[in-house]
Chain A
Amino acid sequence: MPEIVAGDTAWVLVSAALVMLMTPGLGFFYGGLVRKKNVLSTIMHSFFILCLISVVWALWGFSLAFGDDKGGLVGGLDFIGLKGVGGAPSEIYGTTIPFSLFMVFQMMFAIITVALITGAFAERKRFKAFVLFSILWSTFVYSPVAHWVWATGGWLFDYGALDFAGGTVVHVASGVTALVAAKMLGKRVGFGREKMDPHDLTMTVLGAGLLWFGWYGFNAGSALAANGLAANAFVVTTLSAAMGALTWMTVSWVRHGQPSVLGAAVGAIAGLVGITPAAGYVSPASSIVIGFGAGILCFFAVDLLKAGAGIDDALDVFAVHGVGGIWGALATGIFAKQSINGIGADGLLYGNAEQLLKQVVAVVAVVGYVSIASIVILKLIDLFIGLRVPEGEEVLGLDTSQHGEIAYQV
């Protein structure tokens, strides 16, 4: 019978709170990037999801993700309404902490994953459509994918794909959905003709700081114990974020002639995304390379998407989370080292090319399923409710048209 360890429990309690803070932090990060007529609606997306997915996760989401395996694809209804999820540890998940703590730690991941997507449809999505989309996507996309990757019996888990803290489950899934949603919603009114500059970069940098702070719970907390693995995750998270910021800022300096503050903030997020799946498997030196790669790849993905593809992913969710997540997942297959984590594996650099193949399979599977499921959900919502606000309401701004409020009285 597993026993609770006080130190582990204390650390995961703190980590869950840290990850919770990321979602309001994301609200600030995104809120600063939109025009001032849409700042409240953008912050509301994150805040509302914090509340909505908490309840969805408790009622059925957790059970679909971590209930008894059904064919490797989804969990059963064993834990519906948190039945049987109490203070005693699970024999499978987080065996030194209360099972209810494991559940609530996972809840914070479910919340922020849905919140990340909102950056793609900022400034034009109907609020009702957003509410329905969040419930359906969390149920039919997030929970099954979390099961595949993290649950005992999940097919990618059994296959041996590595994802320490959510590179595929959180970032690839949200990033790809963002791209699909941006394509299906269409461009904002005036996109490409009018300037749509961020209205408050101080807010965005504050949000990036809160996200970075919370990411320690996300990555180091995913060790589910207060131990050396958590400490290593903490170190590599810091280094990758720092390298992502330095790299993005440098590339933008070289290309545009000035070191961008926004570039530093977004680059740090790219570095954090890149290290997420690898945090429990790679050395500090590798994390510097991963952060560098994330900074470069995500920077050029933003440019390419805006100029080349002409898709209005308003806040660059795919370029940062999709591309960064894919890079991180593949980098795990390259840089992973079993001496860092005994239950991990060696990657390509340490003689195990097969691990990279496993990571590729995981990425392809998640991208494929998430794309198709998201298209179906968005099509259905468009049919019954409509995804976008009418043009007049969009021009006026969603703060007024959707919420009847404005952010600034000055």
Chain B
Amino acid sequence: MIAFAAFLFALLVIAWLFAPNEKPAKVAETEATGVQPEGQTA
């Protein structure tokens, strides 16, 4: 059971490492236009 618990935890760690990091729309917008969008920036 300890080995199975460790296996489940290892699965989570692998998922974290390989999970996609979606570029936020606002970052893409800033990169495309060079203009900082309004919003929670301070």
A400→B39 contact, CB < 8 A: yes
Which residues on the A side are within 8 Å of B17 (C-beta)? 128, 131-132, 385
Residues of B within 8 A of A131 (CB): 13, 16-17
Chain A residues with CB under 8 A of B21: 128
Residues 16-70 of A contacting B (Cβ, < 8 Å): 35-37, 55, 59
Question: Is A361 an interface residue when CB atoms closer than 8 A count as contact?
Answer: no
Complexed CA–CA distance, A408 and B39 (Å): 11
Whether B40 pairs with A392 at a CB distance below 8 angstroms is: no
A83 contacts chain B at the CB level, 8 A cutoff: yes
A55, A80, A401, A407: the one contacting B24 at CB < 8 Å is A401
Residues 361-410 (chain A) with a chain B CB within 8 angstroms = 385, 390, 392-393, 395-397, 399-401, 404, 406-408
By beta carbon, the residue of chain B nearest A56 is B9
Also in contact, A36 and B42, with CB within 8 A (given A55-B9, A83-B2, A128-B16): yes
In the assembled complex, the Cα of A36 lies from the Cα of B40 at a distance in Å of 7
Report the interface size for chain A: residues with CB under 8 A from the other chain.
Answer: 28
Q: What is the count of residue pairs linking A and B with beta-carbon distances less than 8 angstroms?
A: 61
**B:19-36 near A, CB below 8 Å:** 19, 21-24, 26-27, 30-31, 36
In the assembled complex, the Cα of A244 lies from the Cα of B35 at a distance in Å of: 46
**Does any Cβ of A come within 8 Å of B11's Cβ?**
no
Tier of interface size on chain B: 20 to 34
Given known contacts A37-B42, A59-B5, A396 and B13 CB-to-CB distance under 8 angstroms: no
Beyond A128-B17, A131-B16, A401-B24, whether A59 also contacts B41 by CB under 8 A is no
Contact B31 A392 (CB under 8 A): yes
| Interface residue A81 (Cβ < 8 Å from any Cβ of B) | yes
Q: Which 4 A-B pairs have the closest CB atoms?
A: A81-B2, A392-B27, A406-B40, A37-B40
Question: Contact residues of A with B, CB < 8 Å?
Answer: 35-37, 55, 59, 80-83, 128, 131-132, 135, 199, 385, 390, 392-393, 395-397, 399-401, 404, 406-408
Could you write out 18 A-B pairs with CB less than 8 Å apart? A37-B40, A37-B41, A59-B2, A81-B5, A131-B13, A131-B16, A132-B17, A135-B13, A393-B23, A393-B24, A396-B27, A397-B41, A399-B40, A400-B26, A400-B40, A401-B24, A404-B24, A407-B40
Q: A81-B6, A401-B27, A406-B39 are in contact. List 4 more A-B contacts (CB 8 A).
A: A135-B13, A392-B27, A396-B26, A400-B24
Q: Which residues of B contact A (CB under 8 A)?
A: 1-3, 5-6, 9, 13, 16-17, 19, 21-24, 26-27, 30-31, 36, 39-42
